[in-house]
Amino acid sequence: LKILSTCSSIDFQGNNFKALVYEFMANGSLEKWLHPDAVDQEESRNLKLIQRLNIAVDIALALDYLHSGSDLTIVHGDMKPSNVLLDDEMTAHVGDFGLAKVISSISSDFTYHHQSNSVAIKGTIGYVAPEYGMGDMVAIQGDVYSYGILLLEMFTGKKTS
C-alpha cells in the first residue's frame, strides 16, 4: 500500500497519537469478496476466475518483493484475505504490517529470525504455519504457507477451520 502521509500528535487525553494515511482501497478487503456478509452487502459479490487469478498473482508479486525485492528481507507474518485490499481496478495490495519482521539482508535462500516470544503464536490461526506454534523461527517460508492457505480459500470458497 502506498503511504500518502503521516500524523504525529497528542490526543484529547494527552497520549501520543501516531497514524499512517494510506491510499483508499475502494473495493475493500478480499475477505469481503470471498465471504460477503448479507447484512453489510447490498448486492452479492462474486469474483470471476480471471479476477481471482489476477489477485493471486498480485499477492505473489507483493510477497516476492517483500522477500527478495530489496536488500532487506521482510516477513509479513499475517497473510490472510482481510489483509489483502482491492483498489478500484481490483488490483490487490497487501496491508497490515503489524506483525511484519525485517529479518536480515539477503544472504541465503533460507532466511530466519528467532521469534521474540515463542509462547504466543503470532499470526492468525488457520493461516499461520504450524511450526510457528512450536516456537520455530519466523521465515519467509511461513508467508509462503499462509499464501497457499489463502489460495485454497480463494479457489474453493471455503474458510479455514
Cell readout for 28 is 475493500
Question: Is 78 an annotated catalytic residue?
Answer: yes
Compute the radius of gyration of the chain from its Cα atoms.
17
Where do the DSSP E strands lie in the chain? 3-10, 16-22, 72-75, 84-86, 92-94, 101-105, 112-113, 138-139
Distance CA 56, CA 148 (A): 10
**Catalytic site residue from 58, 78, 88, 109:** 78
Distance CA 54, CA 87 (A): 13
CA 37 to chain centre: 21
Q: Which active-site residues does the annotation give?
A: 78
